[in-house]
Structure 1
Amino acid sequence: MRSTNTKFRTLGSSLIGTTLMVGGTALMMAACSNVAPLPKEFSQDTLPMSIGVPSGHKVVLETTATGVLNYECRATPAGPFAWTLVSPQANLLDRTGKDVVAYSGPPAKWTHIDGSSVVGNQIAVATNGEFNLPLQLARAEPSMGTGALQNVSFIQRIKTKGGVEKTKPCGTANGGEKVTLPYQADYIFWRPV
């Protein structure tokens, strides 16, 4: 009789535990269904309209860049001297952390590890703080090679940090001087739907 009671108690405890677990899971799922999903990194909702990608396009690649920008103090066509971008150098990692694209220029060129590449021409910018590169929208020229960057139509530069020289003067006294600045940014690649 004792062994039968022990079996029923064990079975009863197991049944109650399972019921509580299933019920608790159902309550948690119901509670979570009312929580809005996290926004995707490439959401246009939080970006200035000036750098928004026109409708009819979809994201094909999201990357995060860490690199440097090489500047030279030069006279501008309007006359005054200014820090002028000579070349960017950055490695772009996809959302899994894999190094997938090299960024170089000028002109601005992104080359994927699969051999495909794209050149972009800036069409819009939006300020992002005094010492950060502006946010940017570039229109892609027809891509070279087949692969991940094939048929890319736009490249967005968002979430910029650093990359702007504001502390060192640039004028006739130091014309030709060079400076290298670190920067970070996300580059989002788009193609037509």
Structure 2
Amino acid sequence: MKSTHNTVRAYGKGALTTLAMVLGTTVLMAACNVTPVVRPYDQTKFSEKVRVPAGNVVALETTATGNLTYECRANTPAAGSIGWVLVSPSANLYDRDGKQVGTYSGPPATWTMMDGSSVTGTQVAIEPVVGGIHIPLQLSAGTPGPAPGMLQNITYIQRVNTKNGQDFMNACTQAEVGQRVVRPYQADYIFWRAS
């Protein structure tokens, strides 16, 4: 009886040792095959016109959730045409932990943090997103407000990872001139400062 008990114990120890080795090897192999995390502001993902110039570093990453209000009106750049024109954005800004850190409003495009700091953006370039219902990617030059804080010294604001915002259900025709529509949207706003 004693030898059977010892055989079972020896078999159990051997099986546990084998299992530990297999699990350890699996963990080590997985660690070696880790692919680097691509950040939402990785400039290689964007066309040159919406890339942040060299010499700038990320100061703050936020996600905006809110609404864009459009009005059907004459399209000034294309004389004689009519189209939906953005008249006001309104969104809350959240950090990567989901905590609200500020707001976005306009015009002019202004990001304001809970600490009182702010930055106004002047559009440098846009890049349409495939699909047509998502607002374009955007690069804006930043003009910080006078209050110190998170947005002090911001040089650029980059809008990436856009979702919705241009999903117009009605055409903008002469009959709709003056009408407004509100469209929900989401986007990441990445704030940059000189390095």
After TM superposition, is the score higher than 0.5? yes
Q: Is the 2:116–2:147 Cα contact (8 Å) retained in structure 1?
A: yes
Instruction: Tell me whether 1:63 sits opposite 2:62 in the alignment.
Output: yes
Instruction: Tell me whether 1:88 sits opposite 2:98 in the alignment.
Output: no
Q: Is the 2:134–2:167 Cα contact (8 Å) retained in structure 1?
A: no
Corresponding residue SS for 2:116: coil
**Greater shift after overlay, 140-149 or 91-100?**
140-149
**Greater shift after overlay, 92-101 or 136-145?**
136-145
Match in the other structure for 2:53: 54
| Identity rate, percent | 48
What's the offset of the Cα at 1:20? Answer: 7.5
Q: Scaled by the length of structure 1, what TM-score is found?
A: 0.84
Gaps of 5+ in 1: 1-8
Corresponding residue SS for 2:44: coil
What's the offset of the Cα at 1:165? Answer: 4.5
User: Match of 2:91, as an amino acid?
Assistant: A
Match in the other structure for 1:173: 175
Match in the other structure for 1:164: 166
C-alpha spacing 1:24/1:171, structure 2 compared with 1 (3 Å): closer
Output aligned runs, 1:1-150, within 5 Å.
25=24, 28-29=27-28, 31-77=30-76, 78-128=79-129, 129-150=131-152
Corresponding residue SS for 1:153: strand
C-alpha spacing 1:66/1:17, structure 2 compared with 1 (3 Å): same
What's the offset of the Cα at 1:21? Answer: 5.3
- Where does structure 1 differ by over 4 angstroms across 4 or more consecutive aligned residues? 16-27
Listed one character per residue, the Cα deviations across residues 51-104 of structure 1 (whole Å, up to 9, x for unaligned) are 111111111111111110011111222222211111000001110000012000
Match in the other structure for 2:4: none
What's the offset of the Cα at 1:49? Answer: 2.0
Match in the other structure for 1:3: none
* C-alpha RMSD over aligned residues: 2.5
C-alpha spacing 1:17/1:56, structure 2 compared with 1 (3 Å): farther
What's the offset of the Cα at 1:120? Answer: 0.3
Gaps of 5+ in 2: 1-8
Match in the other structure for 2:3: none
C-alpha spacing 1:130/1:21, structure 2 compared with 1 (3 Å): same
C-alpha spacing 1:22/1:125, structure 2 compared with 1 (3 Å): same
Cα distance in 2, alignment partners of residues 18 and 116 from structure 1 = 59
